Structure 1
Amino acid sequence: MANILTVTLNPALDLSVEIADLTLGEVNRTGNTRLEPAGKGINVARVLARLGHSVTVTGLLGEANVTAFERLFAAEGLQDSFVRVPGQNRINVKVAEPGGRVTDLNGPGFRMPADALQRLEFRLASLLPDCDAVVIGGSLPEGFPPSGLAELVQQANRAGKPVWLDASGEGLKAGVEAGPFAVKPNTDELSGWAGVPLKDMAAVETAIARIRARGVPHVVVSMGAGGVLWSSPTDTLRSWVPPVSVVSTVCAGDTLLAGMLHGVLACQPDDAVLTFATALSAECVQHIGVGNPQAPDFSSLLQQTRVQPWPGENNTGEMPL
């Protein structure tokens, strides 16, 4: 198995709740409720650790409410190498309704200290030699410039480590220009990067081609119920997700990225990589939290997941969402 480094710049404590029907202005009774540390890089790390990899987590972590994060890292077998900064990490509320609709209430977090980027780059310098791949994911904390994210990508590039980037907004724009090995936007994030609505598969393909033209070899676009489109130097593949009962889509993209990286590092065939990652993401949406490769129904989901070359004879250009 591989040694993987994940970078989370803006961690959060996520309060996830299931509710039958959200009624504004009224008292609502919740079902399953869970409070746990999160952030894209942390979520990806948890899945990778469950898949047997050795994972080190780093980034910036607020000191005021750090205990829950430290407990999670110990419980999940993650090596904690976060740079501690003054202030508290965000507290987010995610309300999941039947059918997969999620309402996010995202709170403010710490403001980045002036020396934080320098401290983080120094930490990365000691961690990069021993890792096989780097994942940089999530939003940027207040005061963290998008150019700083680009600097982290370039630092890993100089060390010869492939960077998998999952960001949005200005962070995604700056990160793409820095030349990561792979990017994994969803359709909303890809639309924001492209600056135009993505109304059909042709528009998605055009946006992917623009990113590839900037020197990014791999673009993985998650399209919800429309599956996943993966464009690489060798081919373009599309997966179709098996039918599942959707509870929460919150960690689906992070689980997908972890599944992709797992297969790529193992040098599996492309169709096998995408099948596994898509099926694991489908398992994830059936409950709150990250995907579980040991789930009882995972083998069935694998068998039901379809992957085909894109475009192909039986493929259509329908709206992906």
Structure 2
Amino acid sequence: MILTVTLNPSLDRTIEIGSLARGAVIRATSTHLDPGGKGVNVSRALLANSVASCAIVPYGGDEGRQLIGLLSAEGLEMITVPISGTTRSNVTLAEPDGTVTKINEPGTPLSAEELNTVAEAVLAAAHTADWVVASGSLPPEVPSDVYAWLCRRFAAAGINVAVDTSGPALVSAVTAGPALVKPNREELAEATGVQITTLGDAIGAARKLRAMGAGTVLASLGPDGAVLVEDDHVWYGRCPVTEPRSAVGAGDAMLAGFLAAGARGEQALVEALAWATAAVKLPGSRMPSPKDIQRDAVRIQQADHTMPLQAGG
């Protein structure tokens, strides 16, 4: 069982358009409304591939009830935590070449009591869990060390903790010694202060994150693939996408695939890349099912430290 915690879940509306022109009237070619939030997406990806998962979801207001309704319709196992605020809504504009423009609401503050209720819900379910995933942005006014606090509580209960967040929350969480962190290239650079222009830079930054306290580091590099650093081993892999539709949720699918495959070694990296690539080919924040996943397309190769990474990847 893999538990996920999403402190700032959302309703995600993805609008597919021909091209984005500021100030113009743009007609959508299609729209999708999906439940959102990084931990929620991890649980949805696991569910789509018949891997046991339970999502701990704080919710509030009409949007929150709609979110829970969408998750219930998908058959997701949940522990819901009512909050006094209102669940946020996000909008994504997706262009045919894979360019994505996101407009995310900040979310609603969580009180200390509400945060403690979330933590207690995880601990109550911990006897069945192999991992707990703490991921996503923090709501306003929630302290940046909250993931570090959760990490220490969960680790003390004997649960492996995976963290996927950014900024000060990531730096703080790493000091609590999570078993796994999954930054993207931008988050990795920000957390370590390393300018990442080559694959060697990414590997060096991942090692620096381990020196700061993280266990395994799975770093997604956008179209350049992903690098996995654990103990004394480094793996690099990629899986090109010829017709991307939406990158929303691809990193969450990557983390889900990695955990589903045992969260260690080359085969787990293959699974992570296969799930992430499948997600990029799907509209909105749909999560891939077994029919979407093509493991044979993944290439694990010797890491060339001099290889330049694509600009903006």
TM range (shorter): over 0.9
5+ residue gaps, structure 2, are none
Kindly report which structure 2 residues correspond to 1:104-123, keeping only aligned pairs within 5 A, or say none. 104-123=102-121
Using the alignment, how far apart are the partners of 2:121 and 2:217 within structure 1? 28
Aligned: 1:67 with 2:65? yes
TM-score of the superposed pair, with normalisation by structure 1? 0.91
Aligned to 1:294: 290
Change (3 A) 1:234 1:210: closer
Distance 1:134 1:254 in 2: 14
Change (3 A) 1:233 1:258: same
> If the length of structure 2 is used for normalisation, what is the TM-score?
0.93
1:305 equivalent in structure 2 = 298
- Report if the CA contact (8 A) 2:241-2:281 is conserved: no
Contact 1:54–1:78 (Cα < 8 Å) also in 2: no
Aligned to 2:309: 319
1:10-50 CA-to-partner distances (Å, cap 9, x unmatched) read 01111101111111111101112011220000000001112
How many residues were matched structurally? Answer: 310
Query: 2:85 & 2:252 partners in 1: Cα distance?
Result: 26
- 2:5 corresponds to 1:7: yes
The Cα shift of 1:234 comes to: 4.9
Query: What residue in structure 2 maps to residue 169 of structure 1?
Result: 167
Aligned to 1:275: 270
Letter of the 1:291 partner, please give it: M
- 1:203-222 correspondence to structure 2 within 5 Å: 203-222=201-220
Extract structure 1 runs of 4+ deviating beyond 3 A.
none
| RMSD over equivalenced CA pairs, Å | 1.8
The structure 2 residue matched to 1:284, chosen from 262, 279, 283, is 279
**Identical aligned pairs, as a percentage?**
33
Whole-Å separation in 2 of the counterparts to 1:130 and 1:65: 30
Shift of residue 316 of structure 1?
Answer: 4.4
Question: How far is the alpha carbon of 1:59 from its aligned partner?
Answer: 4.2
Which whole-Å CA distance do the structure 2 matches of 1:80 and 1:276 have between them? 25
Does residue 194 (structure 1) correspond to residue 192 (structure 2)? The answer is yes
Using the alignment, how far apart are the partners of 2:117 and 2:251 within structure 1?
Answer: 29
Give 1:281 deviation, angstroms.
1.0
Q: Which residue of the other structure, out of 26, 29, 38, is the alignment partner of 1:28?
A: 26
CA displacement, residues 121-144 of structure 1 (integer Å, 9 cap, x when unaligned): 222221222211111110000111
Contact 2:3–2:122 under 8 Å retained in 1 = no
Match of 1:122, as an amino acid? E
